[in-house]
Amino acid sequence: RKEVEQDPGPFNVPEGATVAFNCTYSNSASQSFFWYRQDCRKEPKLLMSVYSSGNEDGRFTAQLNRASQYISLLIRDSKLSDSATYLCVVNIYAGNMLTFGGGTRLMVKP
Amino acid sequence: EPEVTQTPSHQVTQMGQEVILRCVPISNHLYFYWYRQILGQKVEFLVSFYNNEISEKSEIFDDQFSVERPDGSNFTLKIRSTKLEDSAMYFCASRARADTGELFFGEGSRLTVL
């Protein structure tokens, strides 16, 4: 099983749609979870951290399901500017290393 | 806004040559990282550095790779004898504390090995 696994997509959605991505991780003891965003040929940037109780930031909602070892990202009212690759990032093991999933590509169409 | 800066933005080199990629992390950050991303593939961890020593490294980070913090600001990645498969985007990142997730990435150094 891959350490951090994501559906690569692409997810093609119309503007205004709601879209959700999941990400599974291998180590049940993982403690820290994040969603990053990466635009084409650019560096990754933090979108949001994922907290145990779930958290929301505007149109974005992140959830953690420890029992099933996955995190999710929900984007409401998609904008053209949301088109990007969304990277699931997990502190898989104790220590400083953050492990990236392969990313899910989102394309929002007019 | 403070940022991580990397140089060069693009380097082309011949196989077998040594390459040094440079990074200036954000000044009050304590943890430094190198990641790489081969075109079309995932972001892969290479090495983390804290308190002037390597704290973790991946299988990719073999004897051909080394990191150094030669002064109070720069953080370098050296590849001793480049191979074709070293062609990738190399990202430097830093963060202030280990318990906060926000890695601040530089814009990357694209390495092309011919």
Return the pLDDT at A31.
84
Residue A75 pLDDT more than 70? Answer: yes
Residue B101 pLDDT more than 70? Answer: no
Contacts of B105 in chain A (CB under 8 A): 43-45
* Over residues B63-86, mean pLDDT: 94
Q: Within 13 A of B43's CA, how many CA atoms are on the CB side? A: 35
* Over residues B99-107, mean pLDDT: 84
* Over residues A64-88, mean pLDDT: 97
Q: Average pLDDT of chain A?
A: 94
Among chain B, residues having any CB pair with chain A shorter than 8 Å are 31, 33, 35, 41-45, 48, 50, 55-56, 58, 89, 91, 98-99, 101-103, 105-108
Chain B residue whose CA is closest to A44: B105
CA pair distance A86, A73, nearest whole angstrom: 9
Q: Within 13 A of A88's CA, how many CA atoms are on the CB side? A: 29
More confident residue, A91 or A73: A73
Residue B97 pLDDT more than 90? Answer: no
Contacts of B89 in chain A (CB under 8 A): 41
* Cα angle value B20/B22/B28 (rounded, 5°): 150
Chain B residue whose CA is closest to A103: B42
Return the pLDDT at B100.
65
Contacts of B35 in chain A (CB under 8 A): 100
Q: What share of chain B has pLDDT > 70, as a percent?
A: 97
Return the pLDDT at B84.
97
Contacts of A34 in chain B (CB under 8 A): 101-102
Return the pLDDT at A64.
96
